[in-house]
Amino acid sequence: MIERSQHEGIHELRLARAPVNALDPELCALLVESVAAAVADGARGIVLSGGPGAFSAGLDVPHLLALDAAGVRAAWQGFIDAARALAQSPVPVAAALNGHAPAGGCVLALCCDYRVMAEGDYRIGLNETQVGLVAPEGIQRLMRRVVGPHRAERLLVAGEMVDAQRALQIGLVDELAAIADVPQRAHAWLARLLALPRKPMLATRAIARAEVIDALQPGLLDLDRFVASWNDPDTQSALRALLAKLGK
């Protein structure tokens, strides 16, 4: 479910769980393992890609709806572990968003250092309120960090998904490219970064990204509260309406 390749010290991890790279516990665990393996193998930088058409559609909702409370908590913890693996990576990570990136897909992207997104009618955002969920404080901090507090409030409360051009305008992504070129542009950004003196670059990066790691501390995610709200009638109704819309 994760395809791996490398070129000149840059390791690419491509999510490959058809059809839309929905994040189930197995894929999340594989992502944690793959990031660690890339670093252990000497990766100087990592590209996380998906697609084409969907970088990741977020958490696997049909899977989650079949679980009991303990299973739901474990699945969400696995997702947070995957996000934390990206946030804590000791080497830079560029997200190659070659398709849509809603909800959990957006969170993974926000945990990366740089985001290249496909041009066109592809969308990204934290649409939790549209499906009856509340984005925890830590996740909201990730959004505020890149787009600012007022714009983050507007996006988060409405659960808004923005298209690629708007995402670039507000700083949610850093660069747009033709969909076939997205991974290459992510590689190119990393190559420029890795051409800098290594130790000063990495030390500066560690200082600059400390707040990304801090946002994912357990106290700011409160998974117990999140899971407790999972069975709220409004939440369940919105989630099942989403599945019906998707034909699941």
For residue range 42-57, list pLDDT tens digits in order: 999 999 999 889 999 9
Instruction: Report pLDDT for 247.
Output: 65
pLDDT one-digit tens code per residue, 56-100: 999 998 999 899 989 999 999 999 999 999 999 999 999 999 999
At residue 245, does pLDDT exceed 80?
no
Query: Which is more confidently placed, 166 or 133?
Result: 166
Closest CA to 172 of 97, 94, 122, 110: 110
Order of strands across the sheet that contains 45-49: 2-7, 10-15, 45-49, 93-97, 114-118, 175-177
Architecture of the 2-198+210-246 domain: Alpha-Beta Complex (3.90)
How far is C-alpha 32 from the geometric centre of its chain's CA atoms? 13
How far is 125 from 129, CA to CA, in rounded Å?
A: 11
Nearest by Cα to 58 from 87, 74, 35, 79? 79
The domain segmentation of the chain, as residue ranges, is 2-198+210-246
Residues in the chain: 248
- Given this model, what pLDDT does residue 237 score? 86
pLDDT the model gives residue 228: 83
Question: pTM here?
Answer: 0.96
Instruction: Tell me the average pLDDT across 17-45.
Output: 97
pLDDT range class, residue 108, cuts 50, 70, 90: very high
